[in-house]
Structure 1
Amino acid sequence: MVVHRLTKTEARRIAIHAQLLDAPRPTDLVAVVERLTLLQIDPTAAVAPSADLVLWSRLGSTYDPAALVKAVEIDRSLVETVAYIRYPGDLPAVIAEVSAQMHPVTRAWLEKNEPFRRDVLALLTEKGPLLSRDIPDTSVEPWPSSGWTNNRNVTRMLESLARLGVIAISGRKGRQRYWDLPERVYPADLPTLDVEAAVRLRDERRLAALGIARSAGTQLPGESAYVGNAGEEAVVEGTPGTWRVHPAYVGLPFEGRTALLSPFDRLIHDRVRTEQLFGFEYLLEMYKPKEKRRWGYFALPVLHGDQLVGKLDATADRKAGTLVVNAVHEDVRFTPAMGAAVRAEIEDLATWLGLAVAGTA
C-alpha cells in the first residue's frame, strides 16, 4: 500500500494546485467549474456574488459574469442545481447520492404529498418554465415547520424534486428561479448510477478538486469535505491521523501567485483542514454584531504563494463607484513584495468590478 509522506508545504501546494489557484491562471470558464465540481450560490454580494468571486480568483479580470449566465441558461454547458452551479457530467452521481441519503422527514412529506407532486409536473409539462409564484400550493399536508407560508410549501416541493432530478432549474429572473422539466434543461444522454457507483465517483471528483482531504469526519450542511477511499493514503507532518491525496498532484512543480478568495471558496471552506494545513484561522463574520467582528462583514482570505497570509475587509459601494478598503489584516507581517502583490490584486478586483479603490489599499 502506498503511503505518501508530505510536508505541510507540499500538502498546501497540492491543495492550491487542485483548486487552480497557482500559476499560470486557467483560461476556460467551463473547464474551471468542471475541475472545481461546483460553485456555491450565495446571495451575499458585499463585494460580488461568491460564484463570481471564485471564478474571478481563477480567471482574473477577463472573467465576465455574463459568461456564466450564458453557460448555464443558454449553452447548458453548466447547470444550476439547488444552491450550486455544477458541471452536467456530475448530475447522475449527485442525484443518485441525494436520493439515497434523503432525510426520512422529507421522504415522508413527499410521499404524503404525491398529488401535489403530480400537479407540479403536470403544470410544468403544460406551461413550463415557471417561477415558484406561478405554481399553486396544492399540498395535502404542509411542511412540518412553524411559521412557513403556503409559498414555502411550493418552494420545499420544488427544491426537493430538483434535488431528485425530477425537475430542473432552467434560469433566473433576478434572484427568482425558473423551474422546468429536466429533459428541457439537462443533456439527454446522462446515465443512471446506483448509489455505490455514485458515492465512489463523487469521492473521486471531490478529491480531484481538493487535492488532499480527510477520508471521513463530522458532516456539516452542504457539500461534503470528505473523500472516502478515493486516491492514496498520505501522512502530513505535524497533523494528526491520515489523509487521502490525489496521486497525480504529488511532486508537481509549483509556481504560486497572489489571490483574494471568496469566504465560500473551497480552498478554505473546510475550516479544520485550513487550520491544520495552512495555520489559518477564519470565520465568516457577517452574522456577528459589528462590534464583535475581528476581520469584517465579508472578509476575503488572502493567498500569497503557498500561504494564507491575511484577510481583506472591503465593500463595493456601487453608488459611489468605489471599492472601499476598510482594512487589510496581516496574519503574517507583509514583506514589501507581498504588500505590492496584495495591492495589485485589490486594484485588479476594483477594475473587474468597474470601481475605483478607496481606503487603505
Structure 2
Amino acid sequence: MKQLFTPFRLGSYQLSHRIVMPPLTRMRAGADGVPSSLAAAYYSQRATKGGLIIAEATQISQEGQGYPQTPGIYTQNQVAGWETVTEAVKKQGAIFYLQLWHVGRISHSSLQRDGALPVAPSAIKAAGNAYTSSWKREPYETPRALELHEIEQIVADYRRAAENAKQAGFHGIEIHAANGYLLQQFLEDKTNQRNDRYGGSIENRARLLFEVLDEVAEVWPNECIGVRLSPFNDVGDIADSDPEKLYTYVIKQLAERGIGYLHLIEPQVRSGLVEEMNHEAPSSVATMFRPYFSGPLIVSGGFDADTAEQALAARTADLVAFGRAFIANPDLPKRLKLGTPLNMLDKSTIYGGFEHGYTDYPSIDDIDKNTK
C-alpha cells in the first residue's frame, strides 16, 4: 500500500491518509471579513473522512489584514460565518484546523483603521507591491515600528482569535510564522532591528512567537496547535544572516513545548501570494531540521504523488500538503489513489471572484456523470 494512504495519529485525531489540504488564500470573503456563503461548499468538496484540512490564513485583527477580502476571526459575525463552514466540513468527517494570521508590514494603509500605516518590528519597507483595499497594486509603505504595549495587544489578539476558533468549531489551530508575515518579520534580522527584548539575539527575536504560542496554549492543548515556518524562504523580502542557526533554535524550542505538529514550507517553490525563490537555500529544509523535531511533521511545496511518497519513505515527513493541486481537484486524495489525471489549475481565478475557479472544478464523479 502506498504510504500516502496509510493512517496517522495526529494528537487525539486519527487521520485516514497523509494528504493535507494546506492554508490557501483565495480572497473571497466579504468586505467585513466574514467567510463567503460559498466557503462551506468549497471546503466540504475537499473534505474526506479522516483527512486534514487547514483553513486559509485568517487575520486575528483588522490590523493583521494584508489583502482585500480575506477572512477574519475577531468579530462574532466572522465566528458565525466560520461555524457554517466547520459544520459542513465535519459532516464529511474531516479534521479542520484554522490558521491564525497577522501580516505585519505586508499590508497597506487602505486596509487599516483610519488609514494608519501597517506595523512591523522595525520601520523597514518591504520590496514589491501591496494590494490595496480596491485591489490595486502599489509599492509597500514604510511600516511603523510597534511599541512594547502594542506587542502585548497582539499577543492578546492571538488569544482572542484562538478562543473564537474554538467557538467556531475548529478542531485546532495553526500559527502562521512563515511567508514573510509578522511573526517571521520578528524572527529574521533583515526585518527585525530592534534593541529591546524583542530584538538582537535569536532568543529575543523568537520571543514573540513563543509568547503567542504560550498564550494560545491556555486555550487549546498543545496537541491541537501547529506552527508553520518557512526557513530560507525570501517571500515578502525576508532574510536572516544565519537561518540555519535561527531555525534550529526555534524548532528545538517547539519540540520541547510538544506542539501538535510542525509545518515546514520548502523554499524552492512558489509560496504565498508572490512567486519568488531563494536559490541559495538547501534542497530540503525538512531534511535539515527533521533531527530536531520528532513530532508530527507536515511538509509543503510543489509535491506530487511520487515526491510525497519519497518524503514519507525517507521519514522527512509524516504528512504532505498539496496546495494548488487541491484548488483544482476537490477530490484530490481519490485522484492520487487511483492515478487519475489531475484537473489543470486556472491561475487567473486563484484570488478573488465567485464560483468560477472556486467551487466549479469537477470531481471524477462529475466527469463520469457527464460522459454517460
Greater RCO, CA 8 A, separation 6+ = 1
Q: Which has the higher helix share?
A: 1
Common fold, TM-score beyond 0.5?
no
Bigger radius of gyration = 1
